[in-house]
Amino acid sequence: MTAPNRIEISEPGGFWFFGYGSLMWDPPFPAAETQRARIYGYHRSFCINSETYRGTPEKPGLSLGLDRAGSCTGIAFRISKSARAEAIREIEAREMVDDPIYICRRVALHLSNGPVSGYALVVNHADRTFAGRLSFEETARRIAVSRGDRGPNIDYLANTVAHLDDMGIPEGHLHALLRRAQTIRRPR
């Protein structure tokens, strides 16, 4: 198992890395190739307490994580050997700054031309920032009312939904979550 807050890639050279949130449309590293990919055993979920970017310690927002069960469609990035060190450094700087909320895991990435072995950051259930499995209503409420250094939490959700739509990745549950958060934010 990989140590929290570290990306450890076992094989030398290039590697595939899975993006399921903002990395899909705003990767901080150069990629030799990108392809749509699906992984099994994990799903996209607002399951990480965010006390800086999406909320505050008093009113934590929520960030996306890959949590156990289900499947998730995202983008697979092929990182070349020459970009390996830079990519690892940039991913760690952006995604693994404070708490050890992510664990880098080897996963099967199902591409259009078949599966390849790659890596993904999955949620560490033992970390203090893991929000657990919140109800739909509690998730929507927290997203509706939280604001952090990067703005209102609801903007992060709306941006995620818009980008997934643009990429042709259907996420009906995120659309429903956005509608509910918007309703909570603008009471009648």
Q: How is 92-161 classified by DSSP, letter by letter?
A: HHHHSSSS--EEEEEEEEEETTEEEEEEEEEE-TTSTTB--S--HHHHHHHHHH-EETTEEHHHHHHHHH
Q: Determine how β-strand 15-19 pairs with β-strand 33-50.
A: unpaired
Structure tokens at 98: 């404070």
Domain boundaries in the chain? Answer: 15-185
* CATH superfamily of the domain spanning 15-185: Gamma-glutamyl cyclotransferase-like (3.10.490.10)
The crossing angle, in degrees rounded to 10, of helices 153-166 and 136-145 is: 110
- pLDDT tens digits for the chain (188 residues)? 445 567 888 888 999 999 999 899 889 999 999 999 999 999 999 999 999 989 999 999 999 999 999 999 999 999 999 999 999 999 998 888 767 899 999 999 999 999 999 999 999 999 999 998 899 999 999 999 999 999 999 999 999 999 999 999 989 999 999 999 999 988 65
